Chains A and B, each alone.
Chain A
Amino acid sequence: MLMVQASLDGILLGILFALIAYGMALQWGVMNIINIAQGDLVILGGYIAYTMYLAGIHPAWGVIVSPIIMYFIGVLLYKLVINKVVDRDLFISILATFGIAIVFQQLMNFIFGADVVVAQSEYGTTMLFDNSVTLPNSKIFSAFISVLYAVALVIYMKKSRLGRAIRATAQNARAAKILGVDTEKVYAATFGINAALCGIAGALISITLTLHPYVGLPYTVRSFMIVIVAGLGNLPAVALSGMGLGLFEEFADYILGTEFRIGAVFMLLVFILVYRRFKLSKKREYLK
């Protein structure tokens, strides 16, 4: 039963991580920017939902309101900072987004205070197997919403004009430009969509976990890892690797103990990087 509980907890959490990671993969792929502020955008989205909760609106509405606000924040951020680093060295974009992360943390601290806060969804709990496995409905809700948005986004990317423009830009920005795609607009929209995805994830985190101005970084690190494992622009792989990471974390927690949870995740990252290198070096040998 413990294993069933761990697996379900892990998968539900993993789906949420995958949503954040997908946003990161998208803008990494299109703009070649590693966004260190990803986690802080998530937390900001969470605070939007929390503010609604304080105003007496059910925080679940945050999954609609928060992405809309966050989209515009994302576009604004692009116009102010990101457009100046898009074509530059990867290192510069890391520095710039690191700066944004610090500014966002301090702003959130200033506006919302340094207290840890939670929003209550009052969704109750689903009990399975005679109460030995429990699933918080808020987590099921958050996984469901994540999947819903992810599917919607995939369809949008395939069918819509902007979606196609984004994919074209990701493949070859210069060629896309020559063929009449306004890449500036595409970049702004991509960054906006990424921020919106963070907004959704944040709203979900406000009802499933806790919010604090300085807890963004772990989300950045996790999504970074998921993207490294899954590769860019491959949604099914991102979803799988997200769930895999969630599962791995829960099992590491059970088997090795809670103190090794994060450590195990980093060990996994090292292992994957080494393994990839190993495989690549094999390939090179073959080419000789």
Chain B
Amino acid sequence: MNKIAKLFVTFISAITLALVSFSSSFAKVEGEYIVLGSAISLTGKYSSNGVHTQNGYNMAVERINKMGGVEVQGKKYKFEIIYYDDESNPKRAAQLAERLIKQDGVHYMLGPYSSGLTKAIAPVTEKYKIPMVEANGASRSLFTKGYKYLFAVLSPANQYLEVAIDLAVEKNGGKGVKIAQAFEQDAFSQDVRLGILDAAKRTGSEIIIDDKLPKELNDMAATLAKVKATKPDVLVVSGHTKGALTAIRQISEMKVDVPMLAMTHCDAAKLSKQHGKKSEFALCASQWHKNLSYKDKFFGSGKKYAKDFQKEFGYDPPYQSAESSAALLVFKDAFERANSFDRDAVRDALVDTEMQTFYGNIKFGPGGQNVAKPMILFQVRCKGDDCENRVVAPTKWASDKFYHPIPKWSDRS
């Protein structure tokens, strides 16, 4: 009896194993569909940016499928994405990545939203050797771990505001400037900070205030009072949307005069809309802007992308959506060049990516980060009460001149 039971168990496990391996070896491509997987924040604190990311993915899937899909070995395939909601929770994201790979048999992944969640998923995709193209994890630490299957279409976080320091130095006649900075204590913002430290060293600038903002940040009056007393040339703030909104609120209330104010997350925070004229002259780092002149055959230009996106989803695309759409273009390109569904062949094709998309040029560095696309800076400018973001750097795409220095509060109406 015991023997029979043992045999039975063995038999069942053998069948299960066979089923699992069978499903996973074929589920990556089902019929005419290439199945991609993504854990994405549809609820929880990242849900608005999670939805932007998902919309970007969906828009690209629809467009690529409509325009003929992906051609591999003479056959046309369409993209399909399996989504799971990671609840903005890194642990959950890692579990879902396992589930996508092991249960759903997904062989190619798209990234989640935010550096933190990407960091949680990357070890899983690496373990199973699953190529992941991600569009929303910019933290430098993602690209220094030696990951071989991680590819990011966006510029790393340390590049976000380096340009701003260069600009300040340029305005100061090439001499170093005095920098005051306040960064939230999270992976992304601290990477932005490292970029500033590098830029300061390179340009001979001096950092006179270097505050770290707590995660529960809702008040930075103390930092701003110090700024007022020490009169730096540049004030740099990075603390996600909360940081951007708090900074503008308190700078305007405390009438802090600085010649230059550089920030991140202005567009995600809808700064020009929420704070209107108070946010004027703020300089913001962005991965993308619709006015840039990059082109591709799927979306045309940035402006056309923005128009189509607006039509489809009813709002102007933030850069989170644009870069997510670009991730699909990268996958399509890699599949076609690999001309195979072999994971390693696709991975090797990804390594050799060198292309232009509406979002920007894409070429991956040794760590997997995109090295072909510069960050852009825009400045909030207002006409009457109507404020919008205008590109001011790099000069190649600037639609407006960089306004410097910021007029004093006493001179602003």
Q: List the interface of chain A (C-beta within 8 A of B).
A: 1-2, 5-6, 9, 13, 106, 109-110, 113-118, 120, 125, 127, 131-132, 134, 136, 138-139, 209-210, 212-215, 217-218, 250, 253-254, 257-259, 261-262
Contacts and interface: CB of A to CB of B under 8 A. Distances in A.
B231 to A, nearest CB: 12
Contacts of B10: none
B269 interface: yes
B253 to A, nearest CB: 4
Contacts of A113: 47-48
B47 A258 contact: no
B229 to A, nearest CB: 6
16 contacts: A2-B225, A2-B226, A9-B219, A114-B44, A114-B46, A114-B48, A116-B241, A125-B254, A125-B255, A134-B253, A136-B250, A218-B216, A253-B222, A254-B226, A258-B211, A258-B214
In this complex, the interface size class of chain B, counting residues with CB under 8 Å from chain A, is 35 or more
A106 B241 CA distance: 19
A259 B47 contact: no
Contacts of A210: 218, 242, 245-246, 249
B221 interface: yes
A250 B225 CA distance: 11
Contacts of A253: 222-223
Given A250-B222, A259-B211, A136 B254 contact: yes
Interface in B36-69: 43-49
B216 A258 contact: no
B182 A118 contact: no
Contacts of A136: 250, 253-254
A258 B218 contact: no
Given A215-B218, A254-B222, A134 B255 contact: yes
Contacts of B222: 6, 9, 250, 253-254, 258, 261
B210 to A, nearest CB: 9
A118 B243 CA distance: 12
A213 B214 contact: no
Of all A-B residue pairs in the complex, the 7 with the closest CB atoms, nearest first, are: A259-B212, A253-B222, A136-B253, A218-B216, A258-B211, A114-B47, A134-B254
Interface of B: 43-49, 182, 185, 211-214, 216, 218-223, 225-226, 228-229, 240-242, 245-246, 249-250, 253-255, 269-270, 274-276, 410
A209 B218 contact: yes
B185 A109 contact: no
B275 A127 contact: no
A105 B246 CA distance: 21
B242 A116 contact: yes
A117 B274 contact: yes
A217 B45 CA distance: 14
Interface centre among A9, A106, A214, A250 (most CB of B within 10 A): A9
Nearest to A13: B219
A262 B241 contact: no
B214 to A, nearest CB: 5
Nearest to A136: B253
Interface centre among B43, B49, B240, B242 (most CB of A within 10 A): B242
Nearest to B242: A116
Contacts of B254: 125, 134, 136
Nearest to A257: B211
Nearest to A138: B253
Given A209-B218, A258-B182, A115 B48 contact: yes
Contact of A118 (B220, B274, B410): B274
A257 B183 CA distance: 12
A259 B184 CA distance: 9
B212 A258 contact: yes
Contacts of B219: 9, 13, 209
Contacts of B246: 209-210
